[in-house]
Amino acid sequence: MELRHLRYFLAVAACENMTRAAERLHITQPPLSRAIRELETELGVTLFIRHNQRIRLTEAGAALVPEARSALERIDGFVHHAGELAAGQRGRIRVGYVDGALHGGILATHLRNLRRHSPALVVDLVAASTAAQLRSLADNQLDIALTYTPAEWPDGVIGRQLMSSPVLLVLSTDDVLAHRPRIGPADLDGSPWVALSRDDDAHWRDRFVRRCAEAGFHPDIRYEVAQLSALLGLVEAGAGRALAQEISLRTTTPGLVFEPLPWWSGTVDYWVAWRARTPAPAVERFLEANQLT
């Protein structure tokens, strides 16, 4: 049995006339009649009888109409769904992100754009460090990565910079430097410090200390944390001072003060990455939705 047999059967049942059914199907009458006979032979039942120059469904034929219609609807739905998958309108996309992309609204912005563009796509979110995301991309475990600037790019991965965020000094409201008109490097020298660690970078601490020394002060790092929320909590508790990217400090925290440091030239940069080989349709939809193509 072929799908055309079911379509022909339903057309004849609806029209009750071979000529009109053939016209609806855009075929001639002989192949339509032949197809109906083939279907009756295969099923072993008579589907139609002639009555007063009209074709009527037999009892068996009438009973099979809902089944034939349901079967075709399922097939049509299957084909439509396959087409949406091929076009990236349906299916799943796995998106990784670093902590700053979450707090800074970068993740939310990109997901909002994707939902407007392809609302039926299911998104799986994975919180991970930059290096872990890039490894997962290369291993086909992630489709999109929202990262900080990586130490190196794996083969076969494309990266595009999204934005750069200035860095602010984070202080407790009880800190003697809070609300001071100008804070210089000497004011921070020897200060107790809370630092955001980089689990994927064994040399992050050395580079951070060196960067601070180049700016003119030496932090006394008392705490190393992996999450921005932990950093803010420790600073609010008076455990030390810290630096954090401005984009991630969007909400007002009563116990904290954020001060710009005009003499600190470094920024925190955010990137989006995906596999270089022909992207999957869902990845193409993500890139299109966020104007990254």
> Based on the domain organization, do 261 and 170 belong to the same domain?
yes
The contacts of residue 222 (CB under 8 Å, 6+ apart) are 192, 193, 194, 239, 240
Say what the pLDDT of residue 58 is: 84
> Based on the domain organization, do 170 and 261 belong to the same domain?
yes
* Closest CA relative to residue 3, chosen from 82, 75, 57: 75
Q: CB of 248 within 8 A of CB of 165?
A: yes
> Based on the domain organization, do 248 and 279 belong to the same domain?
no
- Which tens digit of pLDDT belongs to each residue from 200-227? 677 788 988 999 999 999 999 999 998 8
CA distance 168 to 244: 6
> Based on the domain organization, do 257 and 170 belong to the same domain?
yes
Say what the pLDDT of residue 44 is: 87
The contacts of residue 31 (CB under 8 Å, 6+ apart) are none
Say what the pLDDT of residue 1 is: 67
> Based on the domain organization, do 97 and 126 belong to the same domain?
yes
> Based on the domain organization, do 143 and 281 belong to the same domain?
yes
Strands 220-225 and 192-196: parallel
Residue 243's pLDDT band, with cuts at 50, 70 and 90, is very high
> Based on the domain organization, do 107 and 197 belong to the same domain?
no
CA distance 95 to 272: 10
CATH number of the domain to which 203 belongs: 3.40.190.10
Could you tell me where the beta strands, DSSP code E, fall in 37-186? 48-51, 54-57, 92-97, 122-127, 144-148, 157-172
> Based on the domain organization, do 182 and 255 belong to the same domain?
yes
- Which tens digit of pLDDT belongs to each residue from 23-81? 887 888 888 888 888 888 888 888 888 877 678 888 887 888 888 888 777 777 666 65
Say what the pLDDT of residue 13 is: 82
Residue 282's pLDDT band, with cuts at 50, 70 and 90, is confident
CATH number of the domain to which 21 belongs: 1.10.10.10
Task: Write out the residue range of the structural domain in which residue 258 sits.
Answer: 166-265
The contacts of residue 92 (CB under 8 Å, 6+ apart) are 121, 122, 123, 124, 282
Element housing 84 (H / E): helix 59-87
CA distance 42 to 250: 70
Residue 105 pLDDT > 80:
yes
Q: Could you say which of 43, 66, 87 is where a domain stops? A: 87
Cβ atoms within 10 Å, residue 19: 11
- Return the structure tokens found at 62: 């009438």
> Based on the domain organization, do 102 and 247 belong to the same domain?
no
Count the domains in the chain: 3
> Based on the domain organization, do 14 and 74 belong to the same domain?
yes
Q: CB of 48 within 8 A of CB of 7?
A: no
- Return the structure tokens found at 91: 């299916």
CA distance 21 to 32: 8
> Based on the domain organization, do 147 and 210 belong to the same domain?
no
What is the rounded average pLDDT of the residues 274-280? 83
> Based on the domain organization, do 114 and 171 belong to the same domain?
no
Q: Could you say which of 87, 117, 149 is where a domain stops? A: 87
* Closest CA relative to residue 126, chosen from 96, 106, 147, 93: 96
- Which tens digit of pLDDT belongs to each residue from 154-203? 999 999 999 999 999 999 999 999 988 899 999 999 999 999 887 667 77
Q: Could you say which of 87, 106, 129 is where a domain stops? A: 87
